[in-house]
Structure 1
Amino acid sequence: MAAVLECPPEPDRSAKPDLSDVNANGTGLKPIERLTSDTRIARINAETDAQTVLRYSSQFARDYIRSDYNFCASKIAVARGGKVRALENALRDTSDWFRKTDAWLARHDVRTIEMPYEEIELVITRPLSGLLVRCLTQFDRVFVKSLATVVMKKISPDDRARLLANAERRLKHIVQLCMPDNDQYDFDGERREQ
């Protein structure tokens, strides 16, 4: 005698699925809800209640402000222990490097160039965030002065490109320091081996 296989009954499909969470692009996927940099910094109880207006001319400064500044400022606001020390050391080293580079460019004695600029208001959550804003201001000053030195043929365009690449690398390093959690840093600011 042959065995008869019965299929399970089909589920009731009369109810329509809830499409209120479906992504607007029609893929049917729910949108990913993450804290963006703006919402992240808005949720921080800041030590300082300061804001500043930053003027910038360079594309790098614009991209850094739009993609990294609020992330760094929020991570700086919640940093504790060794992470604060690591960030403080890196920000002071970066600011000092920019100061020396600016002085080196000033020795070339070139006329200043008026560059078009944009302005943005930034929230400063802690004094270290203010130091990051200072570094961004110094970067933009180096950007403009180095352009003037190239125009006056005091340095080559390749030298300027290397100078700006070094400056950008230093600011991107700050973002890398912000990423790990507080417990991944020793008290002296060194990153623990993983």
Structure 2
Amino acid sequence: MASPKLKAPVAIISKLYCSPSQVVLTVRKRPQTVTGGGFVVTEDSTQSVVFRVEGCGVLGSQGELVVRDRAGDALLLIRRKEGVVQALSINRKWKGYSFDYEGIRKLVFKLKEPNSCLGRTSAIRISTEPRRSSGGDWDFEVQGRFPEKACTIVDHLGRIMAQIGVEKGMRSMDLYYVVVKPGVDQAFVFGVIAVLDNIYGESTAC
């Protein structure tokens, strides 16, 4: 059964990153020993850089990520909440902040990361600020397995926002593609992917 189509753009960070048509983007991980880790996102058709994601190898702080635009300006600062309460909780929490024209940070989304054997069976869910759905405590969910690059990001109605996969025959997970549906905020999608990358100890992890 086909996923229901969006009636309006899903602009979490900015409408500037909501394309009216489907977009295929390529993710290439950067070697941690050379560049400090992270990954680069390019347009599949032109190979031009769209986003750069930096992890703690560059920033020098564990649990802190930055998504930059093609010009190198920071779009998102993402931080993992720390402390004794978080260490004992079933879920770790990440918070994503955008920047306004004056450079002031604004909370735009929260992501819950399973933090125990019990929690690992739970889905990774994201809520936005302001909330997009009136029911439940989440707006988006990650379905499937990110380490195998076989997963989707869906909204609370089950509509697909983005799909992550690898080309057939590719053995390395250092290069994979992301299909972002029409009207979906690409910057938000890669903010979520940056957190997934860190959770599973990939290019942005220390």
Return the structure number with greater helix share: 1
Return the structure number with greater strand share: 2
- Of the two structures, which has the highest relative contact order with CA contacts closer than 8 Å and spacing of 6 or more? 1
Q: Which TM-score bucket, shorter chain as reference?
A: under 0.3
TM-score of the aligned structures, taking structure 1 as reference length: 0.22
TM-score of the aligned structures, taking structure 2 as reference length: 0.21
Higher CA-based Rg: 1
